[in-house]
């Protein structure tokens, strides 16, 4: 991370840029606004970044009265491999999500299933269409495209399911999904301003289930501190708007999709010139979700290590 230059590039905060009928807000299916970190950060040219991030979340949806109440708790580990080849302005990312555990709660709030394993793998390409300002550019505009493959298990049956698959208990969607985004950063060190948007188009799995398509917006700022400039703090405003999830029979899950706004706080510290530790807390501050859905804060803890090739 070569201290100042590395924190300026590598630590620009992450973004967007990466259930029975009731809930499928994107925080559960994995497409939350903080998932596509390649949108606003990348390793230096001819360098590789190896990262590991642990993400914890919980969510409830549905009503106790009609028996549709359910909840989820999960601990997901994201393994990321980012590489900037000796091709100007291009970066690539391979992301492998591994569920340490994904627990499902029934209408009585009792655990009725636990699943774990590899989730859906994603491959992202980032290209900087504009760079103005020298080695540490003042203005950067970058575009990203992502392809997510159905590598996660989508045929898990719990004892309580009576032979019927519950999409909310799977660790994979069973679909090929596409994402694209556009991101801008303005650097006036030690401060950086950034913003961007992305959209996600989801496929339909073999059982006829499809998560609602989504749009993500982010606007944020970060600043380095200390004489060494190894510490940075960031504040993001993030917005996600998702459509309802489609279920077999040309109908929609009434307790899915909608709009949610987050306030996201991130702190990062460069332990060495090449090793960064980062913590993020994503707080839901406004929701206009369809049906009955309850969102909670989402916590991230990440390490990133840069290797010059």
Measured distance CA(14)–CA(3) in Å, rounded: 18
- Structural domain harbouring 102: 3-308
Tens digit of each residue's pLDDT (9 = 90 or more) over 55-91 = 998 888 877 777 778 888 999 999 999 999 998 899 9
**Helices (runs of H) and strands (runs of E) counted in the chain:** 2, 16
pLDDT < 50 stretches in the chain: 1-31, 33
Cβ contact 270:252 at 8 Å? no
Residues in the chain: 309
Residues 6 or more apart whose Cβ sits within 8 Å of residue 226: none
Q: What is the CATH number of the domain that holds 105?
A: 2.40.160.40
Q: For tokens 């950063």, what's the residue?
A: 185
Where are the alpha helices (H) located in the chain, listed in sequence order? 3-10, 26-29
Position 36 scores a pLDDT of 53
Tens digit of each residue's pLDDT (9 = 90 or more) over 263-309 = 999 999 999 989 999 999 999 999 999 998 888 999 999 999 998 87
Count: domains in the chain: 1
DSSP string, 49-62: EEEEEEEEEEEEES
């Amino acid at each position: 991370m070569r201290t100042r230059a590395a924190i300026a590039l590598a630590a620009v905060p992450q973004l967007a840029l990466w259930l029975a009928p009731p809930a499928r807000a994107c925080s559960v299916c994995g497409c939350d606004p903080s998932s596509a970190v390649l949108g606003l950060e990348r390793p230096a040219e001819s360098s590789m970044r190896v990262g590991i991030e642990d993400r914890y979340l919980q969510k409830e949806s549905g009503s106790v009265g009609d028996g549709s109440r359910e909840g989820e708790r999960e601990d997901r580990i994201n393994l990321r491999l980012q590489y900037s080849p000796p091709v100007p302005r291009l970066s690539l990312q391979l992301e492998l999500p591994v569920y340490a555990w994904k627990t499902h709660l029934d209408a009585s709030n009792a655990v009725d299933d636990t699943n774990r394993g590899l989730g859906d793998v994603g491959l992202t390409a980032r290209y900087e269409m504009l760079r103005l300002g020298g080695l540490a550019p003042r203005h950067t505009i970058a575009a990203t495209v992502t392809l997510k493959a159905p590598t996660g298990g989508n045929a898990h049956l719990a004892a309580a399911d009576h032979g019927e698959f519950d999409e909310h208990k799977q660790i994979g969607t069973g679909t090929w999904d596409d994402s694209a985004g556009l991101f801008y950063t303005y650097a006036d060190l030690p401060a950086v301003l950034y913003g961007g948007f992305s959209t996600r188009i989801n496929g339909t799995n073999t059982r006829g289930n499809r998560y609602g398509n989504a749009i993500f917006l982010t606007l944020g700022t970060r600043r380095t501190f200390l004489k060494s400039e190894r510490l940075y703090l960031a504040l993001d405003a993030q917005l996600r708007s998702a459509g309802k999830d489609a279920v077999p029979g040309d109908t929609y899950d009434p307790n899915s999709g909608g709009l949610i706004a987050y306030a996201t706080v991130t702190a990062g510290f460069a332990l060495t010139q090449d090793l960064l530790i980062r913590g993020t807390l994503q707080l839901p501050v406004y929701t206009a979700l369809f049906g009955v859905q309850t969102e909670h804060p989402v916590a991230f803890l990440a390490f990133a290590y840069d290797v010059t090739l």
